[in-house]
Amino acid sequence: KNQVEQSPQSLIILEGKNCTLQCNYTVSPFSNLRWYKQDTGRGPVSLTIMTFSENTKSNGRYTATLDADTKQSSLHITASQLSDSASYICVVSDRGSTLGRLYFGRGTQLTVWP
Amino acid sequence: EADIYQTPRYLVIGTGKKITLECSQTMGHDKMYWYQQDPGMELHLIHYSYGVNSTEKGDLSSESTVSRIRTEHFPLTLESARPSHTSQYLCASSEYNTLLGTEAFFGQGTRLTVV
């Protein structure tokens, strides 16, 4: 069964600190993996996308890693800001159908305290 | 920012009323989706469309219906709203890139409350 599991479910950190969010998946055949940021009451916004051949990709203070062998990804946030408080969702796409099916994790709720 | 729009953003409505949630995209995408999301929970696919006159039910059973008469428009309708329909509804569209695979773009969502 194609699944995406994220940990931790929630995380509280102080402003300025770093944190790492985890995503494990069993989706096959794998096409790509995206990390989305979803502010409360709004739609998800894409942060990074990684394909099978990529190991690391950065977008400002966000750095995503991908280990396609172990089917694990992480999102590292550096020097956190209050505006980083949001839900971070790992989304994996398969390439087994023309739909390019998307599989969603439940998200990690990050809260950054001043 | 993605060119996909949902209206209304917030809706409070009484039980038994008929409602339509609007979703429009200007990117020319053939594939469009509706997701339902409860607070703190994952997104669940309730409807999708491959193109005009194509609609399919998703993984999560829903009493809502959809239509796709025009490429850019994918409205969702509830004939008789109930409190159990209270949730956030997210519309999305996607395109396939040969290098990056499928990329999905989301609207801002409609927060529906049925009282």
Contact state of A93 with B108 under an 8 Å Cβ cutoff: no
Taking the C-alpha atoms of residue A19 and residue A14, their distance in angstroms, rounded to an integer, is 10
pLDDT of A14 reads: 97
Q: What is the pLDDT of residues B63-105, one digit of tens each?
A: 999 999 999 999 999 999 999 999 999 999 988 776 667 788 9
pLDDT of B99 reads: 67
Q: What does pLDDT average to over chain B? A: 91
Can you list the residues of chain A whose pLDDT is less than 70?
Answer: 96-100
Asked if residue B112 has pLDDT above 90, the reply is yes
pLDDT of B100 reads: 67
pLDDT of A49 reads: 85
pLDDT of A97 reads: 55
**A42 touching chain B per CB within 8 A:** yes
Taking the C-alpha atoms of residue B25 and residue B29, their distance in angstroms, rounded to an integer, is 8
User: By CA distance, what is A43's nearest residue in B?
Assistant: B108
Contact state of B96 with A41 under an 8 Å Cβ cutoff: no
pLDDT of B73 reads: 97
CB-CB: which of B43, B50, B100 is closest to A51?
B100
pLDDT of A13 reads: 97
pLDDT of B102 reads: 74
Cβ-based neighbours of B61, under 8 Å, separated by 6 or more = none
Which A positions 22-41 lie with beta carbon below 8 A of chain B? 31-32, 34, 36, 41
Alpha-carbon gap: A17 to the closest alpha carbon of chain B (Å): 24
Contact state of B41 with A102 under an 8 Å Cβ cutoff: no
